[in-house]
Structure 1
């Protein structure tokens, strides 16, 4: 794999038409005869799916991809209206360049090139659909076995980087909190828009919710700090051809509380009643796997642990105000319902307010 570890002076493609056969050839290291755009997905990160034909055959075809996903910010209007999306693209490119090659216990899409400039971050990955992978529908719910598998994947990442911080990796800044505060700023108006999911009255108070959000970000317990995937909701899950649960969209990784990843995954992947029935089983499995793979040993009778677990549901704050231009209405409404149920069940706002 060829990776660019410093911002490039080269102007990287900014729109799909600029991802040409010639440009791909320069990054993949093989002469490209043709590159055909087969489909595109636009959102907080744009994904261009491209089929490649090479000039020459080689002995080991697995050493170069024939079907790729080129991810970056290829929608100028989105970048203008949501400038924080650029930081996500830069971060994902850096993940494949600097972190992915060292990961031991967590699967992720195969990367072929990653590079950044001051206005773009691009990651070239294998197109998972051509590896037999499948993806959840907009608001699916899955059996607990799939969730346990995903929790073990999360534990694998966390165990490897347990206790590390930005002091160890100065280039991994926390842009996540800034982006979330930007998105939740119009809370009071968005939650009152016609057609939005109805919230309990106390959550209609945007000032209270945002104070809790600020307090959560400022007071994460460092005892549970590790490197996070950062965006483990169901929309960033895929299943391998063998049926294993894996995660894509590595554009929000940063150092923070481990339970951020776990609760965000559990509460979006299970419907409310399933989450209530199996949540502690999943937590126990996560804790056991974390310890087995080299992380610390924790138990649920640890009061500090359970407080941090409940507080971490603040991660879900995006869904009640997520724009329907960023995610489908079906997904936003379903995940909002699951979020609010978890907030009420765990008294998330109240637990945060009661701390210090």
Structure 2
């Protein structure tokens, strides 16, 4: 796989936004007028019209002598933060003998708003990078990747990955999915596996250009996409599901706590983070395994960031309250079993309490989107996860845990 990036200079937020409108808007307009057909492995198609048999052969068959794609069919799927396509492929005899994938799932940035969001947010190269450099080094329940490329200049990106419905009979989860205790343990064990594999791993320094720290990622969002402003708008839109005690909290205080928690998420031991491990990015295979998909926000940072996001967004409020202490102990045991020196429980519990702000704020931001942002998630999904994460902020005394200072309190 290949992840191509360009160099981006930066002025003020308005200047960067204006540059993005001109650059990405210009590329989208030219592609609409004369949609280019792609043929070489270095090309980055973003729609079914641009994908060709020659391009598919170049990116899928290079390691198999004589193999070639003879025909293909594109099936439109869905569109949100990215455009999603399903590809049905037919190979020549050499390709069939090599067992090359016959159904693939593609994610692209075909739309202007997607390019503005992911390009200005500096996330175009992360999912291609994950599949190119990290995914195949660890045995986890997640899709296999076959090709990825990104071009910062145009905002074009594509990832070809395993179609989990075709290969594993996967069913994708939503907040309406009831997550049982064995299922959340399976998710947490899966997470512990890749966290342990990359725990303070020196090899991650080679990927620093795209595998950024949480505070860097959030600073970029705040600067270019007005995270704070959109989150405030989202709080007004989601008022009906937010506990009164949290609604009565100054947004300035809440946002300062979020900034502090983001900096804590930069502190070691560091590992690979999924970065967006909410329930909508999980699935259940036909054999009952739980896995993670959508690695667009892959980062490097503290385990507690990923763990807290998944637990607080995946579980119904009452289940999270009942299971969370046992579940954290289970996660720490999984780390230890994988050979990692896990933090002791009290230290881990405090870290968990301090990482509830991002799951809450990012979903306020999602429902509070502005005109230049794609509709990333339906409103009912946003409201369900906001209710869960807002209650976690209150239940866990997260503001007190952050404001108590470095030592905090293990209450």
After superposing the two structures, state which structure 1 stretch, 34-43 or 173-182, moved more: 173-182
Pick aligned residue for 2:349 from 295, 303, 306: 306
Structure 1 residue ranges (4+ consecutive) displaced by more than 6 angstroms after TM superposition: none
Contact 2:232 2:365 in 1 (8 A): no
Contact 1:73 1:86 in 2 (8 A): no
Call closer, same or farther: CA 1:85–1:51 in 2, change over 3 Å: farther
Cα distance between partner residues in 2 of 1:54 and 1:129 = 21
Call closer, same or farther: CA 1:281–1:84 in 2, change over 3 Å: farther
Post-superposition Cα deviations, 1:215-234, rounded to whole Å, max 9, x if no partner, equal: 11223473443221111111
Cα distance between partner residues in 1 of 2:86 and 2:267 = 40
Cα distance between partner residues in 1 of 2:323 and 2:128 = 35
Matches within 5 A, 1:285-324: 285-300=330-345, 302=346, 304-316=347-359, 317-323=361-367
TM-score (norm 1): 0.88
Cα distance between partner residues in 1 of 2:234 and 2:121 = 23
Post-superposition Cα deviations, 1:246-269, rounded to whole Å, max 9, x if no partner, equal: 111111121111011112111222
Question: Which residue is equivalent to 2:108?
Answer: 72
Cα distance between partner residues in 1 of 2:306 and 2:315 = 14
Cα distance between partner residues in 2 of 1:57 and 1:164 = 39
Q: CA deviation at 1:167?
A: 4.1
Question: Which residue is equivalent to 2:218?
Answer: 177
Q: CA deviation at 1:341?
A: 0.8
Question: Which residue is equivalent to 2:83?
Answer: 46
How many residues align structurally?
Answer: 349
Cα distance between partner residues in 1 of 2:376 and 2:94 = 41
Question: What RMSD, in angstroms, separates the aligned Cα atoms of the two structures?
Answer: 2.6
Question: Which residue is equivalent to 2:55?
Answer: 23
Question: Given the alignment of the two structures, is residue 115 of structure 1 paired with residue 149 of structure 2, yes or no?
Answer: yes
Question: Which residue is equivalent to 1:339?
Answer: 389
Contact 1:90 1:122 in 2 (8 A): no
Q: CA deviation at 1:198?
A: 4.0
Matches within 5 A, 1:1-356: 3-4=1-2, 6-7=4-5, 10-29=42-61, 30-56=67-93, 58=95, 60=97, 62=99, 64-80=100-116, 82-84=117-119, 87-103=122-138, 105-118=139-152, 119-131=155-167, 132-164=169-201, 167=205, 169-171=207-209, 172-174=211-213, 176-178=217-219, 180-181=221-222, 182-193=226-237, 197-200=241-244, 202-203=246-247, 205-220=250-265, 222-300=267-345, 302=346, 304-316=347-359, 317-323=361-367, 325-356=375-406
Q: CA deviation at 1:120?
A: 2.7
Cα distance between partner residues in 1 of 2:403 and 2:333 = 30
Cα distance between partner residues in 1 of 2:239 and 2:53 = 44
Post-superposition Cα deviations, 1:66-117, rounded to whole Å, max 9, x if no partner, equal: 111111212223323x2457633321011111111222x4222111112232
Q: CA deviation at 1:7?
A: 4.5
Runs of 5+ unmatched residues, structure 1: none
TM-score (norm 2): 0.77
Cα distance between partner residues in 1 of 2:238 and 2:339 = 49
After superposing the two structures, state which structure 1 stretch, 231-240 or 45-54, moved more: 45-54
Call closer, same or farther: CA 1:58–1:226 in 2, change over 3 Å: closer
After superposing the two structures, state which structure 1 stretch, 280-289 or 224-233, moved more: 224-233
Cα distance between partner residues in 1 of 2:238 and 2:301 = 35
Cα distance between partner residues in 1 of 2:185 and 2:319 = 13
Runs of 5+ unmatched residues, structure 2: 7-40, 62-66, 370-374, 407-411
Cα distance between partner residues in 1 of 2:395 and 2:319 = 13
Contact 2:54 2:69 in 1 (8 A): yes
Call closer, same or farther: CA 1:54–1:271 in 2, change over 3 Å: same
